[in-house]
Structure 1
Amino acid sequence: PSAASVPVGSSEFGYLVYAQNGGAVSRRAADIMPGDVISLVDAKLKGHKGLQAYSQSVGMGGEALVGIVHETEHKKLKVRVFQANQKVGQQSVESVSYRLEDLKSGQVKV
């Protein structure tokens, strides 16, 4: 309802409900829900998982990583995503979690 409509012929996947560039959220029209399409472009995430620090780079080289959200934790801004396996030689779908508040650079759209 409050999300922007999609122009005909665009490369978007539907209504934009969430957009983030680096650490700044630029649009939050609604909560991220299971079934939403998520796109990460040149995304670098850096934070902590338990007691260990981690860093992760996804959607690098101008190719967007596109997946389907299947679980969300609104308090932690964490999404669990079904995405194509990125390893060479294996064709499968994997479930990966991303904490959007750990985004240091790049772009996320839902």
Structure 2
Amino acid sequence: MAVWGRVGVQICEVATTMHDQSKKALVGDGSYRGFVDAVLAEVPNAAKPPSRQIPYGYLMYLQNGAQVQKRASEILPGDIVEIVDARFKGHRGLGGYQQHVGTGAEGGEGGGPVLGVVSEFETKKSKVRVFQANQHVGQQTVEAASYRLEDLKSGLVKV
């Protein structure tokens, strides 16, 4: 918790600043990983992974499908989230919704897993709000997205 107070808060603040500035300029290389790497480069105490295969920090939360596999602590602002081939299905308002994120190279938004920085986590609703790269054609900015973890039907969410 002490490390989060020093580093996690700074990561969240830098991600928020980059989200606000992204309307004017490209952040990182426009990819999900490029955005997270650009955020971590701005925080002096943040540990950067030595290679692309090594994850960002310690695994605090792991959910595979509807089942939570690991919960070491609460999800906090500034944590790095990775979403791999995830299908969300639930209800918003009066209607239902379906969402498929973090798919492989054959489809989806930019291909590969979605990486982002947690901006907020609502424990009661099990909803995580994330700053992530916007992979829509011609709009490589930073967007704020939200995911309800209890609506995860398949795929993987790591924090």
Global fold match (TM > 0.5): yes
Larger radius of gyration: 2
> What's 2:55 paired with?
12
Q: Distance in 2 between matches of 1:96 and 1:51?
A: 20
Segments of 4+ moved more than 4 angstroms = none
C-alpha displacement of 1:44: 0.4
Structure 1: unaligned runs, 5 residues or longer: 2-7
What is aligned with 2:96?
Answer: 53
Aligned to 1:38: 81
The answer to which structure has the higher strand fraction is 1
Query: What SS class does the counterpart of residue 30 from structure 1 fall into?
Result: coil
Identity of aligned residues (%): 59
For residue 52 of structure 1, report the CA deviation from its aligned partner: 1.2
Cα deviation, 1:44-100, whole Å, max 9, x if unaligned, reads: 000011111000000001611000000110111100000000201111000011000
Distance 1:78 1:86 in 2: 22
**1:95 matched to which residue of 2?**
144
- Number of matched residues? 105
Q: Which has the higher helix share?
A: 2
TM-score by length of 2: 0.63
Q: Which residue of 2 aligns with 1:27?
A: 70
